[in-house]
Chain A
Amino acid sequence: MIEFQLDETSGVATYLQLVQQVHQALRMGMLEPGDQLPTAQQVVARLAINPNTVHKAYRELERAGLARARPGLGTFITRSPSGTDPATQARFLTGMTDWLRSARSAGLGPDDIEAIYRTAFRTCFAEGVA
């Protein structure tokens, strides 16, 4: 079963971190359709977070069609997230590598690149809070 972590310094909302970790686990093959997600009680016992946060994360996964709650039994993965096919991944990997090369030749160092990446990442994903 997946074990959640919490990064308090990342600035990302807790429930979103849980959602992302599920996505990550699916991508890496650690979670497969039919697997059960930890119960709210299990997550809370490990992370000492508000159980509503867990419920919110699982509702988000349900909304995205990745998981389903079965009353009395738990929450289960229903399918893999779209966009994990290797072709799409390879395409974005190439694009990313090209971008990095051109940033480097423009004179940006690793720290500049990291700052740009984090700002863009935060803007893009945290806006989802609203």
Chain B
Amino acid sequence: MIVAVEARGLGKQYRRTWALRDCTLAIPEGHVVGLVGPNGAGKTTLLRLATGQLTPTRGTIRVLGEPPAASPAQLARVGYVAQDTPVYARMRVADHLRLGSWLNHGWDNELAQRRIRQLGLDPRQRAGSLSGGQRAQLALTLALAKQPELLLLDEPVASLDPLARREFLRSLMEAVAEHGTSVVLSSHLVTDLERVCDYLIVLVASQLRVAGEVSSLLASHRRLSGPRRDPSTLPAGQDVIEQSHTDKQSTLLVRTGEPVRDPAWTVTPVSLEELVIAYMNPANDIPARRPRLGVAS
């Protein structure tokens, strides 16, 4: 399994605050990775570290096996769309495509032109007068047409209306289907996650809360509800991620490697959205992962 992005103890400090702290993960290639977290959690910092726009204060990061922006060859393998999809306001759409062809060896001009046509963008229009959705699509076109192995997208749909958002994701998924591109897509929204992502990373307050394949995360988490119970009485191997109690009833979200057999509990599966929200809630104390022996992932 080739690792698309690998971080070890990665941290970034600005003056006195840590934008990202002690982040260790290994994102496999061939996935669409959802990088989720509230605003200011460190998602943008992680992506900017991955594109070489920032250098780490601590730890290391490797993208496609090399340090970020290490060489023109490595730059060519990674596509990036920054937050707010910056474009050159006074340059025309066609000029942006020319920029792409001049600055990228692996530029597929046919693909770029076709996308612009399909999207209905006027090549002679200045990029500054495009709508938010059109700008995002232009930025995505630029990133896709250089034919990268890995696409890093920083909140590309955050300020788009639902239709523009759906169109953007559709374009993205079509590119993944056609070229097998790996994608890391950051967002502070949890909608569209399950439909698009098959790998999940949750960042909260500059720290990593969870990282893993969506299918194994869904398989290893359960909602338990039953009569009021102290969570510390749960057997080992069942980690409580979230809990709420009334005087008569307890509802727990647990992470477990094995089926829950205690008949006192009503066991229901957890949707991806509920799982993400539980991990995003800073009030929840996430217990450390046990060694890999017990947990299937």
Contact = CB atoms under 8 A, between A and B. Distances in A.
Nearest to A9: B271
Size class of B's contact patch?
A: 20 to 34
Contacts of B259: 130
A14 B173 CA distance: 15
A126 interface: yes
The 6 closest A-B pairs by CB, nearest first: A48-B170, A51-B177, A44-B173, A44-B177, A130-B219, A48-B169
B166 A48 contact: yes
B129 to A, nearest CB: 27
Interface string B180-215: 000000000000001111100000000000000001
Contacts of B173: 44, 48-51
Contacts of B194: 8, 13-14
A84 interface: no
B75 interface: no
B65 interface: no
Nearest to B191: A8
A20 interface: no
A24 to B, nearest CB: 20
A45 B195 contact: no
B32 interface: yes
Contacts of A40: 177
A49 B196 CA distance: 5
A13 B218 contact: yes
B200 to A, nearest CB: 12
A78 interface: no
A11 B174 contact: no
Interface in A80-130: 122-123, 126-127, 129-130
